[in-house]
Structure 1
């Protein structure tokens, strides 16, 4: 268009997301950068699930484990109350999508794949690694269910606190567990001016299959 400002060198540059790399290695690099730049919870991620009849739902959770050794094929792990709304959706439809959006870096990562429940031993270990007050708060909650008044929940918290304070830990509720997403698709995105964004998608057909990758139009 006549009179339009020229594109600068950054906009004209080729993709800076390397082809042929291991996406778990690239995730580690970006995650490390986010830990140094995000003011709060760089491990926060949007978790999208769906009911058995495909009605979607999304909320924020925290990443608590990741990498090629999380599960066969590698994965991304989070923990939750399996009797919550998201837990019931996961039980009905064992697949999900994750989204990391780091505004400080102007980057995002989208991850999709099937879910696998962690072992009871791992759920125990993580639950009891949390501060005592967090254990109490989780065990006292009927997450996502109607609450007649906040005082009812606080009374449960006080009762559980008193019952287990001498031990310094609360028995993990059987419904409190974790899930690992084993990705079949990971997309890395970098913001650029004028919507000339940089996107690279990594896909594989199975956990033991090699990754392939391609650039995507913004």
Structure 2
């Protein structure tokens, strides 16, 4: 009975450690960050469009990596505020011409005297919009947004789970003794203890 108790405690400790070391990132994904940017961008457009007497919109997006994503969010947000979208231009339409001037996701290693698995993530978005009113006047709307936080190399797979275009080149990961040797030992040890505990219980 004593041996089983000791083995059970050791197994719980190893499983807990392994779970904590492999737990998912709580950081927002790259897609979620860009989505929040575009929601704020849509709110900016709404404020500018509210100064016009017309609610009819002809949306023109210059092709880019985020074209479909921008179109979906802008139409959804503005439609909820009473704006109507047309597939072609009309006499009563305000034309929104949206162009992504700059979009970047990057990871930079945190340099220190000792090897570290910490990296700094940066996300930048710069959008230029031309608002052509039905009275032929043109207004330029510039929207710039950036975000930065600190991740680990293990977090990259999580924050990039939505795939292209929400990915970026990865910096080279430093050699880490704990990750290279100790974590595999923990996994093997947990498995061995589970097997040992199973046969110990059966033998009783």
The TM-score bracket by the shorter chain reads under 0.3
TM-score, normalisation: structure 2: 0.22
Q: Which has the higher helix share?
A: 2
